[in-house]
Amino acid sequence: MALPLIPCCRVAVIDRRRPPLHPADPRPHGRTPQPPPPRDSRAPRQRLAHNGWVSDRSPHTVQVRVIPRARKDEVGGERAGRLVVRTTAAPVDGQANAAVCALLAAHFGVGKRQVRVIGGERSRDKTVRIDR
C-alpha cells in the first residue's frame, strides 16, 4: 500500500516575467505610446550660430561629432553638445575628414579651403576651424 505524499514545506513560485498581454491590447508592454509634442509653426527655427556649436571668436571653431560610413551625407542634430555630421566616406587616409570639411563648407556657405580640422583628426569628436 502506497503512503500518501505529505508536503513538508510550501514553495512559492514567483514568475518575474511580465504578464502576457491580451492579443487585442494595442499598448506595447502595457504602456501607452506618447505622441511627440506639437511644434509651433510660427516659432523660428534656431540657427547653428546660436546653439553653442560655433564659437563667438573669429575664426570660428565648431565642435563636431562625425559618423562615418553613414547612409547619406548630412549635417544636423546634436549629440553630447556637438554638431552631428554624417558622411558616407570611410575613415581611411583622411577621406572622412575631407568629406566633413566639404559638408561643413556647403552648410555654412564658405569655400572648402576655409574649413579645416584642427583637433581630433583620428577621432569621431573633432574641432573644426571655419575662416570667414
Reported in sequence order, the residue ranges of the chain that DSSP labels E, i.e. its strands, are 60-67, 74-79, 82-86, 115-119, 125-130
Question: DSSP letter at 54?
Answer: B
Give me the pLDDT at residue 25, please: 58
**Range in 27-36, 62-71, 81-90, 114-123 the model is least confident about:** 27-36
**What is the rounded distance in angstroms from the CA atom of residue 100 to the CA atom of residue 39?**
30
**Range in 45-54, 79-88, 95-104, 119-128 the model is least confident about:** 45-54
Reported in sequence order, the residue ranges of 15-122 that DSSP labels E, i.e. its strands, are 60-67, 74-79, 82-86, 115-119
Full-model pTM = 0.58
pLDDT tens digits for range 26-63: 555 555 566 666 666 555 544 444 455 555 556 889 99
Answer yes or no: are the C-beta atoms of 64 and 104 closer than 8 Å.
yes
Burial per residue of 37-71, b for 16 or more beta-carbon CB atoms within 10 angstroms, e otherwise: eeeeeeeeeeeeeeeebbeeeeebbbbbbbebeee
Q: What percent of the chain has pLDDT over 90?
A: 44
Domains detected in the chain: 50-130 (3.30.1200.10)
